[in-house]
Amino acid sequence: MTLYIYGVLAVFFSKHFFPPGNDNLALLASLAVFWFGFILRPFGAIFFGHLGDLIGRKFTFMLTLGVMGLATFLIGCIPSYETWGIAAPILILLMRAMQGLALGGEYGGAATYIAEHAPDGRRGLYTSWIQLIRIDAVHRVSRQPAGLAGRRLEEGRLVVSNRCPPKNRNIPDESTILPP
């Protein structure tokens, strides 16, 4: 899920981590960095799959989780383009590379680990939960009244948008400001 949150926040990243002046080019650069993480997933599967065969799947799975968490944390620590200049988008690209490699190894490693430990005749059912949980998480986030799709950043504060389904009557309006 962490890998996909970058896509939701691509507009935010384009304004804070890429050169100012051309918003469209900055957004395209931000989306290119998003794409780069997906391109590296198969290489992460190859690398971490081989590593899992050599030193064990459980350790490798924990390693991929750690790499994903570290990369996500470090993205949050990167200063803006105004502060660090060209180093900011380069660091974002490197952290996205780490996330892509980790997710490639994490997903395949999790499926293999679960399949190896599932009871006979139940492997397909057990491994299907990996994808079903991901689909359910994306569905739940997108349906939240004030979910990621309904929020935007303005002046350092998180503003809840009222562009949510009208069937929910307790949705906050534009005047509701959440602390940053």
> Residue 112's pLDDT is what?
85
Q: Could you tell me which residues come within 8 angstroms of residue 51 by beta carbon, excluding any fewer than 6 positions away?
A: 60, 63, 105
What pLDDT is stored for residue 113 in this prediction?
Answer: 83
Mean pLDDT of successive 10-residue stretches along the chain, which has 180 residues: 73 90 92 92 94 91 93 92 93 94 89 87 86 65 48 46 48 46
Burial tier of 84 (Cβ tally within 10 Å: 0-12, 13-18, 19+): middle
Contacts of 74 by beta carbon, 8 Å cutoff, 6+ apart = 91, 95
What are the backbone dihedrals phi and psi of residue 152, each rounded to the nearest 5 degrees, phi first?
-150, 155
Domains of the chain, each with CATH number or no CATH: 2-143 (1.20.1250.20), 151-180 (no CATH)
pLDDT at residue 79 in the model: 92
Q: What is the 3-state secondary structure (H, E, C) of the chain?
A: CHHHHHHHCHHHHHHHHCCCCCHHHHHHHHHHHHHHHHHCHHHHHHHHHHHHHHHCHHHHHHHHHHHHHHHHHHHHHCCCHHHHCCHHHHHHHHHHHHHHHHHHHHHHHHHHHHHHHCCCCCHHHHHHHHHHHHHHHHHHHHHCCCCHHHEEEECCEEEECCCCCCCCCCCCCCCCEECC
Are 98 and 67 a contacting pair, CB within 8 Å? yes
User: What is the per-residue pLDDT for 65?
Assistant: 92
Q: Can you give the pTM of this predicted structure? A: 0.70
As beta bridge partners, residue 153 has 158
Confidence at residue 179, expressed as pLDDT on a 0 to 100 scale: 45
